[in-house]
Amino acid sequence: MKKNSLTRLSIVLFLLGFSGLSAQTKVDIEDQDSLLINRNIYGHFAEHLGRSIYDGLYVGEASDIPNTDGVRNDLIEALKNLQIPILRWPGGCFADTYHWMDGIGPKEDRPTIVNQWWGGVTEDNSFGTHNFLNLCEELGAEPYLAANIGSGTVKEFADWIQYVNHDGTSPMADLRKENGREKSWGVKYWGVGNEMWGCGGNMTPEYYANLYRQYATFMTSWDNETGLYRIASGANVDDYHWTEVLMRDVPHNLIEGVALHSYSFVEWGNKGDAVDFNEAQYFSTMHTALRMEELVTKHSAIMDKYDPKGNIELIVDEWGGWYDVQEDTNPGFLYQQNTMRDAMIAGVSLNIFNNHSKRVKMANLAQTVNVLQAVALTDGAKMLLTPTYHVMEMYKVHQDAKLLPVSFDSPQYSYEGESLPAVSVSASKDDKNVIHISAVNIDSEKENEVEFDLSGFDIDDFDAEILVSDKLQDHNTFDIPEKIIPKQFKDFKFKRGNLKITLPPFSVVVLESK
């Protein structure tokens, strides 16, 4: 694809570093037979961690907080509004200590366990398989179950599949019916362990590949007409050897997806505060967020080597910002606030996933509520929606739309001698031929002018929304829950197929053709 350079004048101004001047860039958008942006890229992740499940999703049937089968109605409504496509559960690290039969049957008979990974709290198993799968039905979302490989057995895993998917007569199907569910749920997506290089067992990739082969062999779809989608526990960030071993050693008829985990932070071991951060910490966080482009590209290249037809898919089932926990909260609960910095992480990450939709078919933001880069935070009966929620809401228009490839040279965001691409863009066309363009400017100080060549499209004009605020550290609170919300955006001009927009510093804009 052809790339467009900055004009000579804008290059000179940029290199001289004049403050207050906006850089300019031109974006080519192609209309061609292309891939669909899989809606599962907009997936979510809910682990038994801190206040994610209990007090987040689940308040119990007897709660004064309005609920449906114990799940907060306000959160159900918010997730429905996101058109949440898929939800991953019960972990995370918790998955490889979780025994699913502890969470079924009469609640008074369920055993308690200690959550050894997250805070050492007692888990009473009141939220289990039925609760989660019924919630997914309520949301209209696909369930994604992460199974216990680290401390479980092949039989335990196979029994869980039979319990949720078998409609005939069998020991596990009969047990499900005794527990009040006649029809199976037909669960398609299954994670075969989680982070097997770490909390899942500190395994070598060679050992895990053999273990995966064993478990995958005993996975039976039963009455699920679409079959099972088996996801191998994949690499930690840039462990390319892990991906190489899985693609080389696992027969391709036993695997549908390979996972990848990568978080954004200031630096590992010194993640910094979620709200009280400076520009150096912001720049470092954006550096790790934008590295997702490199990670997806290099892991995809390894997958291409062994799977040139793209039958096995890349699943980024944990991503998001990770900072030090909020002061005076349990350090094992990973509760943090959500600022405009997180909106930047969300915007650029989703653009990367969209643009790599040839191989990336699912991504799961960590996590849904009260943990890490959550889309919602709760405090008793109160709930607020974070800037990340609003980015996900603005971007939902890309779900299952046709990817429109973009080509451009980004202006740079520079800080103390280092530079990052300031502008991130992805585009799509839905089944009604409506074009959507999502653009992000991560520069903390400078606006950026972006020009789009849309001469090949039949467009009359655009509507647009923007998410922006006065300071990078701005966030929504329970006292001011709508400090940051999407607003109408008018700082653009469209004439004869040429669209010019001015992106304010640290802003997210989504445009819709009309």
Using DSSP, state whether 385 is helix, strand or coil: strand
- Residue 475 tokens, joined: 């966030």
- Residue 437 tokens, joined: 């363009």
Q: Are 95 and 364 in contact (CB under 8 A)?
A: no
**Residue among 170, 208, 164, 203 nearest 187 (CA):** 164
Distance CA 89, CA 53 (A): 10
- Residue 371 tokens, joined: 């943990």
Task: Provide the CA 326 distance to its chain's centre, in angstroms.
Answer: 22
* 156 classed as catalytic: no
For tokens 């949440």, the residue is 84
DSSP letter (8 states) at residue 13: H
240-268 b/e with 16+ CB inside 10 Å = b? eebbbbbbeebeeebbbbbbbbbbbbbee
Q: What are phi and psi of 83, to 5 degrees?
A: 55, 50
- Phi-psi region for residue 487, left (φ > 0), alpha (ψ -120 to 50) or beta? beta
Distance CA 255, CA 236 (A): 19
Q: Which amino acid, one-letter code, is at 405?
A: P
Q: How far from each other are the two terminal CA atoms of the chain, in whole angstroms?
A: 27
Q: Which amino acid, one-letter code, is at 251?
A: P
**Residue among 206, 156, 162 nearest 185 (CA):** 162
Going through 229-359 in order, the beta strands assigned E by DSSP cover 229-236, 257-264, 313-321
Helices 279-306 & 340-355 angle (0-180, nearest 10): 20
Name the catalytic one among 123, 142, 195, 256: 195
* 182 classed as catalytic: no
CB-count burial class (<10 Å; 0-12, 13-18, 19+) for 447:
middle
Distance CA 93, CA 367 (A): 13
- Residue 261 tokens, joined: 């985990």
Distance CA 107, CA 116 (A): 22
Torsion of CA 335, 342, 39, 363, to 10 degrees: -60
Q: Which amino acid, one-letter code, is at 77?
A: E
Distance CA 500, CA 413 (A): 20
- Residue 45 tokens, joined: 């992740």
**Residue among 322, 349, 355 nearest 338 (CA):** 322
Name the catalytic one among 47, 123, 313, 318: 318
Catalytic residues: 195, 318
